[in-house]
Amino acid sequence: MAADDDSRTILITGASSGLGAEMARQFADLGYDLGLCARRTDRLEALAAEITATHPDRLVEVRAMDVTDHEQVFTVVRDLAAALGHLDRFVVNAGLGKGAPLGTGGFAANRETAETNVLGALAQTEAAMEVFRAQGRGHLVMVSSMSAMRGLPKTLTTYAASKAFVAHLAEGIRNEQHGKPITVTVLYPGYIASEMNEHVRDRTPYLVSTEKGVRAMVEAIEKEKGSACVPAWPWAPLSVAMKHAPLPVFKKLM
């Protein structure tokens, strides 16, 4: 099916599973044509088949993309923008959650997370903004994390720092584009069930289902909020405590 220039379009990275895959389903339900990227193309193809079976009128384009292959990122984003006709929204979602306490021999895991979540996010954002500047409009959505609110210990140290980078990158673009047709949303997800946290679900407080958590993300995106803790309860009030509580108090919350 050819792209319709009047259709709403969205490109989602890291769409082969978890939050990205569920976002694809929910945005298809809202009438969007989709550009889906991930390393695991077999899962992307299965997701595309699932969506088009439910929504035969939806255009779903899938591409293999490794966000640490920066040249590939630019090639794929340009290709998808052409295939869809235009990009209304771009969700920088692909990420990695590996980590080890610094200085304990886990540099390889920390490096992989930093390369994916920092340089990979930068490449995706550069590619998205290239398309948006050419179009003269667009909506950039950056998926950060509640862990970005404050430096975190042990296995989360590098991950939290990488997600703070994502948030600040988005804030800088919003500052530049304020009052212009390119808008920016930063999402701070709390504990939402996904492959990334399936090994710790039994001891994860406030965990919500993938469907419920992503619904909160999609609602914030559709409203083009500047930033949003999702789901709002309990993460919006907890964000204040995370940012401002004295360290001894904060450590007890962790």
Distance CA 93, CA 130 (A): 18
Residue 251: per-residue pLDDT: 77
Q: How would residue 206 be classed by pLDDT, with cut points 50, 70 and 90?
A: confident
For residue 119, the 8-state DSSP code is I
Q: How would residue 157 be classed by pLDDT, with cut points 50, 70 and 90?
A: very high
Distance CA 98, CA 197 (A): 11
* Domains recognised in the chain with CATH numbers: 8-253 (3.40.50.720)
Averaged over 235-251, what is the pLDDT? 87
Tokens of 228: 């949003």
Q: What is the largest CA-CA distance in the chain?
A: 58
Phi, psi of 182 (to 5 degrees): -100, 115
Q: What are the beta bridge partners of residue 13? A: 37
Distance CA 197, CA 216 (A): 18
Residue 5: per-residue pLDDT: 61
Averaged over 133-160, what is the pLDDT? 97
**Looking at the predicted structure, is the pLDDT value of residue 198 above 70?**
no
pLDDT tens, residue by residue, 15-37: 999 999 999 999 999 999 999 99
Give me the active site residues, please: 159
**Looking at the predicted structure, is the pLDDT value of residue 246 above 90?**
no
Q: How many other β-carbons are positioned within 10 Å of the β-carbon of residue 22?
A: 25
Q: How would residue 2 be classed by pLDDT, with cut points 50, 70 and 90?
A: very low
Arithmetic mean of pLDDT over the chain:
93
Sole residue written with tokens 């920016």: 184
